[in-house]
Structure 1
Amino acid sequence: MNELNYIDVFAGSGGFSEGFLRHGFNPVAHIEINKAACFTLRTRAAYHYLSAAQQIEIYRDYLKGKINRKELYSYIPEKIFDSVINAEIGKDNDRIFESIDRLAEGRKIDLIIGGPPCQAYSKVGRAPLKHKKDDPRTKLYIQYGRFLKKYQPDIFVFENVPGLLSVAGGTYFKNLKMYFRRLGYCLEAGIHNAFDYSVIQRRVRVIIVGWKKSIDFNYPDFPVSEKKFCRDDIFSDLPPVGINEKRRFIKYYNGSNEYLRRYGIRDDSGFVTQHITRSHNQRDLVIYRFAIEQFEQGILIRNDGIPDEMRTQKNVTDFLDRFKVVGPEPHTMIAHIAKDGHHYIHPDIRQLRSISVREAARIQSFPDNYFFEGVLEGEFLGPAFQQIGNAVPPLMAEKIANKIKKMLCLKTP
């Protein structure tokens, strides 16, 4: 069939979009407020362009630091980057719509994907993330709907946390359903665990799929992966590193394995980038050692169970699993990892650190050639961790994209 065009709203670093790109969808626009994430989207676009042009060595030179970002971008036609729109949805809608109209060049928008920031709906989080009254983020679905109203795609996919269905007694979800139905769409929601779709992470998300009332669609059945993998499948080939590791790239420590090959995590470059780590103070490292020792005995420590002489924080009522070792089936990656790594302690006591940027990216199923940018070159820790924590895992997105493509190919008005 003809090319399937989509818009990615609240695009982040592009994890959701990556899954659809892998199934041949054409991105007309990515809209994202965060400037660093927009650089990541542009760099990923450069990767796809150079890969298709059989000039991947240029991209690898950038990963190794042989050329800078400006030089990398100089090899890419400007129109490739035009699809990345750095703007605030809601505040800048007129400018966004004008840009999309120009980029679409009269082509039909078949699909809209994206998920508004989820913290306002989340039931899990640290004390500062507790819900505040009248949080404007709870109504960002209205802005999503404005894209549906203008571009009238046949189908949309909306990702968020399960709390969307139940927070405030389910009021937000009820309002969302009524609003989208007024716009002419049927919709259903399903709760899915990324672990069932080859992502090595227990990450539960709600996936809302909506379609025009005039089209005979049903909520898709996403087939789960039969074979399960674990943390060691994504950690075992990465070289041991200590705290404050800042090398631009590093050679793999071990050969590849079934998981890394099957899902394209590793390529044939022979090196990995952004296997970099943050600094830690000695008091936190004492707690890390204690947490790992307890973990090896099958005990998950709670903040109120840390010995008084060791504890660094007085609060023993909120977020009791503040210090947490990454287990064989890693727990949910959240954006707070940008602030500290206490919730993601590496299980190897000999390394005694929190996980690296690349390890976090692998937990989220990003391939090793996915490079996370900062606003400034060399600013790779905080911005990278934030983008990774907020992302839709590409492997989960790929499974969704596969079913959505089949639905659109079989569309019967």
Structure 2
Amino acid sequence: MEKIKVASLFCGCGGMDLGTIGGFSYLGKEYKENPFEIVYAVDNDEYCTKIYNENFVHKCVVKDVRDIKIEEIPQFDMLIGGFPCQSFSISAQNPPRLGYKDERGLLFFEMVKLLKERQPRFFIAENVKGILSANKGKAFPIIIKEFSDAGYTVVHKLLNASEYGVPQKRERVIIIGFRDLEDLLKFHYPMKVGYSERKVLGDVLIEESNYDETLFFSEKAVAGMMAVRAKMNKGRTMSLTEPCNTISAHLAKVSLNSTDPVYMVGDRYRRFSAREAARIQSFPDSFAFDCVSQIRQYKAIGNAVPPVMMWHIANSLTVCLKK
């Protein structure tokens, strides 16, 4: 099967790209290569791109997508991208959710522009659950209409990463566009994996982290959280026997007075190490993050698309490629 060429916008550190191409191992399971190859990747974050370029043969360009000259992009058959979602997120209430009125919310138009110009066979866009209700539910239909007007039949589904072998309850809207109707007719979103294949936090935590004093919260932080815990639902300790709650981009600054997931060792609270966070996101241990500072690692990991979930999505598209 000839490989489908892929252009990746907003690629971050490469979770979506790794899942698309496959060919990696995670928790003892092999995720075989998919018939896709990345021919172009771009992100405006120099630290994410540094991580990306440490891990992929094809290199990512550091650039604002608005500055891309379309003619610079090689020929491609699929466009992928998790367009910036801060403005659509349920948690980004301060300032209130501006959705598509916010400059960052407008970046999906860059995807649309490229689709109109190049007309690739497929596209996959990823975003937070909050996009469905942003602007009192007005933003999402506009986004779908823009993608449709670019010449695509568009489907979308809310997927939970924990149902695809990722040890994290992370809900994301996956929008897929088809230029050709016969491709759409063959396509189904990936089936959830069986319960025996699902992963929990206990599968990925690292014993040594329980002895790393830099990961533990101070007594003062714990006392402050305890004072308001009853009425605030804070100090969200995770169970080893369940998937972790969603991890975010500010993991380095995790607070006990927030909804961030934390872990309890005896009677002490700790945050997750960067490698544990990467495992919670389903990155293989072979994926290198230590070319940037720990704060940058946490941010890149928290913003990423879980590679294992993305592998299932990309793999479900391969049915369209069979003759």
- Moved >6 Å (runs of 4+): none
Give the aligned length.
303
Distance in 2 (CA, whole Å) between partners of 1:187 and 1:338 is 37
Which among 54, 60, 82 is matched to residue 43 of structure 1? 54
Does 1:131 pair with 2:97? yes
CA distance in 2, matches of 1:389, 1:89: 21
Corresponding residue of 1:93: 68
Q: Deviations over 1:81-128 (max 9, x none)?
A: 3xx1100112x122xx3432xxx2xxx411111111112111135x64
Q: Report the Cα distance in structure 1 between the residues aligned to 2:173 and 2:105, rounded to whole angstroms.
A: 15
1:153 to 2:120 alignment: yes
Where does residue 5 of structure 1 map in the other structure? 5
Structure 1: where are the runs of 5+ without partners? 50-79, 245-276, 291-302, 307-315
Instruction: Quickly say closer, same or farther: Cα 1:155–1:129, change in 2 above 3 A.
Output: same
Greater fraction of residues in strand: 2
Separation in structure 1 between the aligned mates of residue 84 and residue 211 of structure 2, nearest angstrom: 33
What's the offset of the Cα at 1:14? 0.4
Residue of structure 2 equivalent to 1:225: 193
Q: Given the alignment of the two structures, is residue 29 of structure 1 paired with residue 40 of structure 2, yes or no?
A: yes
Change (3 A) 1:386 1:322: farther
**1:341-376 deviations in Å (ceiling 9; x for gaps):** 532322223664211111111111111121225xxx
Normalising by structure 1, we get a TM-score of 0.68
Task: Note if contact 2:10-2:43 (Cα within 8 Å) is conserved in structure 1.
Answer: yes
Counterpart mapping for 1:298-377 below 5 A: 304-305=228-229, 320-327=232-239, 328-342=242-256, 343-349=260-266, 352-373=269-290
Alpha-carbon contact 1:165-1:173 (below 8 Å) kept: yes
Length-normalised TM-score, structure 2: 0.85
How much does 1:243 deviate?
2.5
User: What is the SS of the residue equivalent to 2:245?
Assistant: coil
Cα distance in 2, alignment partners of residues 394 and 280 from structure 1: 30
Structure of greater Rg: 1
The answer to whether the 8 A contact 2:217-2:268 is kept is no
Mapped contact 1:5–1:110 kept (Cα < 8 A): yes
The answer to whether the 8 A contact 1:341-1:355 is kept is no
Residues 109 and 152 of structure 1 are in contact (CA less than 8 Å); yes or no, is this contact kept in structure 2? Answer: no
> Is the Cα contact below 8 Å between 2:125 and 2:175 reproduced in 1?
yes
For 1:39 and 1:358, the matched residues in 2 are separated by 17
CA–CA separation in structure 2 for the residues paired with 1:229 and 1:172: 34
- The answer to whether the 8 Å contact 2:88/2:98 transfers is no
* Deviation for aligned residue 1:151: 2.2
Closer, same or farther in 2 for the Cα pair 1:130/1:381, shift >3 Å?
Answer: farther
Name the counterpart of 1:389. Answer: 302
3-state SS in 1 of match to 2:155: strand
Task: Give SS of 1:382's match.
Answer: helix
Partner of 2:82: 115
